[in-house]
Amino acid sequence: MNDVLHKLPEFAHNHLAWVALFVVILLALIATEISTLFRKWKGLTPAGLTQLINRDNPLMIDLSASADFEKAHVPGAKHVAVSQFDPEHKDLAKAKDLPVVLIDRDGRTLSKPAARLVKAGFTRVYVLDGGTSAWQSAQLPTAKGKK
């Protein structure tokens, strides 16, 4: 171990680009984890969503494209186009005390809508990690069609 520590400065000097890349990746990972800790909404696995459905009957909003929603969605989810998603809407504002779960096809585009819900005063905001794809991969039932 002591021998490795003595050779480390020489290695870093000889491979400066690799060391710099390692430091950048490490800082990016740390920043991502810190932001995850401090965000006001939580991610859910398909199993976690199943438990939440059984326990609290959440409002599930699917922000997928219409075609993706019609192919498969979590049963009970309501489809809303991203362009029409408004946390200040009077019907949605009535649900501020309910848990609200945001869903899309793959779970990648939900951080901004989740942040908008939190900013609008929703206290129990969740995002389905992996979206409908993760739900289907977990072999959970899906619904088809517009409703």
Number of structural domains found in the chain: 2
Q: Do 88 and 23 belong together in one domain? A: no
- DSSP per residue, 57-116: --EEEE-S-HHHHHH-B-TTPEE--GGG--TTSHHHHTTTTS-EEEE-SSSSS-HHHHHH
Nearest to 63 by CA among 108, 104, 91: 104
Is-above-0.85 flag for pTM? no
Q: pLDDT tens-digit profile of 6-52?
A: 888 898 899 999 999 999 999 999 998 998 788 889 999 999 999 99
Q: Do 23 and 79 belong together in one domain? A: no
Q: Is there a contact between 79 and 64 (Cβ–Cβ < 8 Å)?
A: yes
Q: pLDDT tens-digit profile of 4-18?
A: 888 888 988 999 999
List the CATH number of the domain containing 74: 3.40.250.10
Q: Do 118 and 47 belong together in one domain? A: yes
Residue found under tokens 């989810």:
77
pLDDT for the residue numbered 145: 87
Q: Do 81 and 133 belong together in one domain? A: yes
62: which strand partners? 79, 103
**In which domain, by residue range, is 71 found?**
41-137
**% of the chain at pLDDT higher than 90:** 68
Q: Do 121 and 57 belong together in one domain? A: yes
Q: Is residue 17 part of a domain?
A: yes
